[in-house]
Chains A and B, each alone.
Chain A
Amino acid sequence: MVISDTIDGEVLAIRSDNGAYYSMRGPAATAWTVLISGSDVDDAALAASQHHGADQSVVRADLATFTDLLLAERLIIDNAGISSEAQIPNESKGQPWDTPRFEKYTDMQDLLLFDPIHEVQPAGWPAVATDQPK
C-alpha cells in the first residue's frame, strides 16, 4: 500500500509494506503529481512544462526516466487506469525545471521489521498475500 500527501509543496510517499518513505520537492513534486493523476506522458509533460516554464521535450524525457525510478521503487504501478486533474503544488510554480529526484528514507524499517504486518488472502487463510503494492 502506498500513501502520498503534499504539504507546503513537498510530497511524501510512503510504502507501508516495507517501511520506506520518500520526499519529493520542486520538479519532483510536480512530476509525482502529474504522473499519479493518470495523465498520459504527453499531457503530463505539457502540464509540468507549463508550470515550470520549461521545454516540453526535456520535461517529457525527464518524466519518462522518473517514471522508471518510481516503478522500480514500486511507488506506482503501470497503467493504473485512473485519471484525475493534477493538483500541482503552487509552491513550485515558475521554479526552474531540474531532473526530478526523490530522497528515500529507510530509518523506519527497523520499526516495521520489529512487528511485520502481512495481508493474507481472504480465501484460504493464512496464505500470505503476494507482495504487490495497491
Chain B
Amino acid sequence: MTAAVDQQYGEFVDLALSTTAHTRSSQVGPLPVHLAGDSEDELEQISEHLRAGTGNTWPPLSVTTVDSTSVPADCIPIELRTAAKETLVARGEKVTAVANGFQESFWMLDRKNGHAVRWLPDRESPPYGEQVSPLSLAIRWWAGVGSKGALIHAGAVAGPQGAILLVGNPGAGKSTSAMSCAYTELDVLGDDQVIIDFDTDGQATAHPVYKLAKLTPRSLELIPHLEQHVAFEGQFGKFLVNLPERAPGTHHVRAICLVEQDQAGPTRIESCPRAEVLKAVGVSTLFQLAVAKKQTWEATSKLVRSAPCHRLVVRHPAEVPDVLTDLLRTIGSVTQ
C-alpha cells in the first residue's frame, strides 16, 4: 500500500531534479542546508532569510525547490486544497508527502536521504509563509528524523550567560516580550520559532532560524524603538521586523518562561510548574506540525525537564529586558 507513495515520489523527484541547475549552501543552527533549484534568485531569497548558525552537528538537509514552470501542477500527486486551507499528509515506507493548502506548497520528504523537494505554484510570488519563514516544514521534519532536536514554537532571547525561552499560547505575548529585547544588550534568537538540540549530557541549546520577526501593530506601538527596523507589512496585519545581526554563538537554555500578561504589579518572575510550561510549548508546537509529531513532542518534553521553569508576568514589554537580564545574571551567579 505505502509503496504507492514511494513510487510517485520517485517519479516526482526525477522530474524535479532534471530542472535544477543552481545550488547554494547555508547553515541554520546546527543544520547544514544544501539548496538546489532552477532559479538562482529564488535560492538567494531563501538564504537571505535564514540566520547563520554555528556548528555542523546535524546531518545535512538537501532541499530542491521547483515551481509550476518546470514541474506542472498536474504532476502534483496530492490535491492542494487551497480553498479549504487544509493540509493533506501521505506516508510511504521511505517518503512522506505533504500538500499544504494553507501555505500553497507541496513537499516530498525522503527520510533516508535527508532530501526535501518543495513545489510552489509560482516562485515569483511565494506564499507568505515560505516568504518570511522559508523551509520551516522541512526543518521541523528533518529535526525530528533521528530525534536530533526540534523546531519549537517559542521565542528566545540570549545574553552572555545563555538563553531564555519564552513560551505561551498564541496571543500570550511571547513574541512581543522577545522583541522588546531586540536592539538591547540581549540577543533575540527568535520571536516564535527556534531550533533546540541537546548535548550528550542533556543540556539544551537554542539556535536562531530566521532573520525576520512578526509583530502586531499593537505590539509595535508598545515597542516604538522597533519602528525603524520594520522591513515590510505582511499578512494578517502584522509587520515584519528585522532582527539585529549578531555573531553566531552557542546559547545553552538556562530558563524557560511561560509568558502571561497582568497589569497588577510590575513585570516579574514567578515560580511555575513544569506541566504548565509543557502544556504551553508542547501543545502549541504539536498543533503546528504536519510531520514528526511524536519526535517533536519528545524533544519538547526533554527540553522542559532540562531547565528551570518560571512564569514571566508582563505588565509592559518595556520592562521585560531588565527582568530577563536580571534572571540571566541570577542564573549565571548560581552556576559559577
Q: Hey, which bits of chain A sit against chain B, CB under 8 A?
A: 1, 3, 5, 7-8, 10, 12, 14, 16, 19, 21, 23, 105, 107-108, 111-112, 114-126, 128
Contact = CB atoms under 8 A, between A and B. Distances in A.
A108 B169 contact: yes
Contacts of A126: 78-79, 88, 90, 99
Contact of A117 (B77, B274, B290): B290
Pairs A-B, 5 closest by C-beta atoms: A115-B102, A10-B275, A117-B87, A122-B2, A126-B79
Interface in B157-186: 169-170
A118 B89 contact: yes
| Interface SS of chain A | mixed
| Interface SS of chain B | mixed
Interface stretch (B196-204, B224-232, B279-287): B279-287
Given A8-B273, A120-B78, A122-B4, A14 B283 contact: yes
Interface string B255-284: 000000000000000000111001100111
B301 interface: yes
22 contacts: A3-B294, A8-B273, A12-B278, A12-B282, A12-B283, A14-B282, A16-B286, A21-B283, A23-B275, A108-B283, A111-B284, A114-B102, A115-B87, A115-B102, A115-B103, A116-B87, A117-B86, A117-B89, A122-B1, A123-B1, A125-B5, A126-B79
A103 B134 CA distance: 37
Interface of B: 1-2, 4-5, 77-79, 84-92, 97, 99-100, 102-103, 169-170, 273-275, 278-279, 282-284, 286-290, 293-294, 297, 301, 304-305
A122 B91 contact: yes
A23 B103 CA distance: 32
Given A7-B304, A118-B89, A120-B78, A111 B287 contact: yes
